[in-house]
Amino acid sequence: MPRANSDIVIKCPREEVFAFLADVENDPQWRSGVLDLKRVSGSGVGARYAQGVKGPGGRRIPADIEITELTPGEAIAFQTVTGPVRPRGRYVLAAAEGGTRVRFELEADLNGVKRLIAPIVQKTMNNEVGQLDSLKRVIEQRSAAGH
């Protein structure tokens, strides 16, 4: 089962970081593989978002998500509900010296023929969690601008 995780400290209060991540429509600001993202139903746990991500050759692949956990200031989890691979992800927030530690975790169950694409899935997941530097930059710039 492909898995990836990374963590970073963002120089902002936990509530501010949580609010940014909980508004899933902010993802395209820091996740380079997201082509489009829009809430289609619900709010909080159970909210669903239509998401298109870059696939081979830059073509759009549907990767809609549903929020499965929303613990204010602490954790946000989601499950991909469409697309060829359906990873689960989680952001875990904790107080850290000078700000908030964010841990981004991804995992995907690959069974049957999908196991053949495990190396590609692993590379994609590593890239996703590796984008926390972009998240840090976006949130810290917003905070400095008073957003």
CATH number for 83: 3.30.530.20
Is the residue at 49 inside a domain? no
pLDDT in tens, 89-104: 999 999 999 999 999 9
d(CA 29, CA 32): 8
Distance of CA 31 to the CA centre of its chain: 8
In a domain, 37, yes or no: no
| Amino acid making up residue 16 | E
11 in a structural domain: yes
Sign, CA dihedral 8-24-32-110, equals positive
Torsion sign across C-alpha atoms 41, 86, 77, 120: negative
Residue 79 sits in which domain range? 3-31+69-144
Q: How many domains does the chain have?
A: 1
Do the domain assignments include residue 53?
no
On whether residue 46 sits in a domain, the answer given is: no
Rg (CA), the chain: 15
Dig out the tokens for 51 from the structure.
């998401």
Confirm whether 98 is domain-assigned. yes
Query: Mind listing the pLDDT tens digit for each residue in 79-136?
Result: 999 988 899 999 999 999 999 999 999 999 887 767 778 888 889 889 999 999 999 9
